Amino acid sequence: MASPASPGPIPTHCAIEPDPVNYEDLTSWIAAEKGVTSVPEALTKGQRKALATSKLPPLEEPVIGDTDWISLLMRYRDAHKDKQGIAFTEAPCPSPLNPGAPPHWTCCVTISEAPGSSFPPGPRGAGETQTQTLPPLPSFQRKKDAKQYAAKIAVTWLMEQGRMPTNAVDACFPKIKPAAAAKPAPAPVKARPAPSPSPSTSSSSQTRGENSAAARVAQLCHQLNVPLPRYVVIAHDRVPGWFSGYADFGGDMRIPPQIGRVEDVYGRKAAKEQMAEQVLQYLLEVEAERKRLVETVTEKLIDV
C-alpha cells in the first residue's frame, strides 16, 4: 500500500495571519454608539472577515459649541456660594477605536443643587450604584473638551430648573431693586363754606387739591407750551408685577429722551407715578429757567 503523499505547502491565501481587528475595542465602540453597557455576542468568522476589510467611521464627539461652559458655571457658583462648591472628576480611558493611540478623557461634575447626581450621568457618577443601567461617559481626545462638556450638561440642567437665564451668557438673573413706596395721597378735606373768596384764594385752594405729580405736569405743560406726555408702561417679561416705562412727548426734540424713563418698578401705578415725578422735576427746572430769563431781560430794559 502506497504511503500517503505528504501535504504540500499551505496556499498563501489560506495562511493564518494575525487578526487585524481588535474586537474587544470594536465591541466597546459599538456599545458606546448604541448607548448600552452589555457586550454583544462573539462575531462569526464571516463577520470578522467583513469587518477586517472595512473602514470604521471615526467616533464623533458630542457638540460643545463656542460657549465657555466652565467659566459660566464658575460664575454661577460665585454668585450662589456654598460649602460644597464644584467638583470635576476626570479620568483617562483607551481610545474607542485605536488602543495604541493616546488615551481619551472622560469627565463629570457634581454640584450641590443636585445632591447624589453627576453631570453627565454615567458609571463614574457620584452616588450611582452598579445595578443602575447607565450609558458610558462620552470620551474626548482633549481633557479640556471633556471638562467643558460636563460643565455644559450641568449648566443646561440649571437652566431647565429655572436657576439660570437661558441665554448661555448671564450666570444669574438681573437683580431688581424694589421700588420706593409711593407717598400716600392726603385724605380729601371737605371744603367749608367761606364768604366770597377772592380769585387768588380760590386758585390757591385748587392748586393744593391737585397735588399729584401727573396733575401738576398737566398744568405746567399748558403753561410752558410743552406737549402733554403719554406714559407708556411695559410689564417685565419674566417677573410678574414689575414694570418699566417712559414718557412719550410725541417726538418733541426739546425734551431730552431720558426724561421720564424708569426701570424695574414694582406696581403699574408706582411706575407711572415715578415717570410723572421725573417729568415734573424737569418742567419745574424749565419754568425756573424761563423766569430767570424774563427777570434778566426786564432788568436790562429798566437800565436802558
CATH code of the domain in which 277 resides: 3.30.160
Predicted TM-score of the model (pTM): 0.41
Quote helix, strand, coil % in the chain, to nearest 5: 35, 10, 50
Average of per-residue pLDDT values in the chain: 76
193 falls within a domain: no
Are 82 and 37 part of one and the same domain? no
Task: Report helix, strand or coil for 251.
Answer: coil
Q: Based on the structure, what is the number of domains in the chain? A: 3
The radius of gyration computed from the CA coordinates of the chain, to the nearest angstrom, equals 39
Cis ω before 11 (30° cut-off from 0): no
Assess whether 111 and 138 both reside in one domain.
Answer: yes
Of residues 22, 36, 18, 32, the one with CA closest to residue 106: 32
Q: What is the pLDDT of residue 171?
A: 86
82-97, pLDDT tens digit by residue? 878 899 999 998 877 6
Residues 6+ apart with CB under 8 A from 70: 147, 148, 151
Same domain assignment for residues 270 and 295: yes
In this structure, is residue 166 part of a structural domain? Answer: no
Residue 292 lies in a domain: yes
Nearest to 124 by CA among 141, 139, 108: 108
SS3 233: strand
Q: Identify the domain boundary among 160, 183, 199.
A: 160
The CATH number of residue 76's host domain is 3.30.160.20
Residue with cell 401727573: 214
Question: Would you say 95 and 104 are in contact if contact means Cβ atoms under 8 Å apart?
Answer: yes
Same domain? 143 vs 88 = yes
Tell me how far apart the alpha carbons of residues 64 and 95 are, in angstroms, rounded to a whole number. Answer: 19
Per-residue 3-state assignment (H helix, E strand, C coil) for 32-74: HHHCCCCCCCCCCHHHHHHHHCCCCCCCCCCCCCCCCHHHHHH
Annotate 127-152 with DSSP letters as a single string: T--TTS--PPPP-BSSHHHHHHHHHH
CB 241 within 8 A of CB 264: no
177 in a structural domain: no
Q: What is the pLDDT of residues 187-244, one digit of tens each?
A: 554 545 544 544 444 444 444 445 688 888 888 888 888 888 888 998 888 788 889 8
| pLDDT reported for residue 15 | 43
Structural domain of 131 = 69-160
What is the pLDDT at residue 172?
82
Q: Is residue 186 part of a domain?
A: no
For residue 294, the one-letter residue type is V
Residue 11 lies in a domain: no
224 shares its domain with 274: yes
Kindly state whether residue 179 falls inside one of the protein's structural domains.
no
Residues 139, 215, single domain; the answer is no
| 197 located within any domain | no
Query: Are the beta carbons of 248 and 261 closer than 8 angstroms?
Result: no
Q: Do 219 and 273 fall into the same domain?
A: yes
Please tell me whether residues 39 and 95 are part of one structural domain: no
Split at pLDDT 50, 70, 90, the class of 124 is: very low
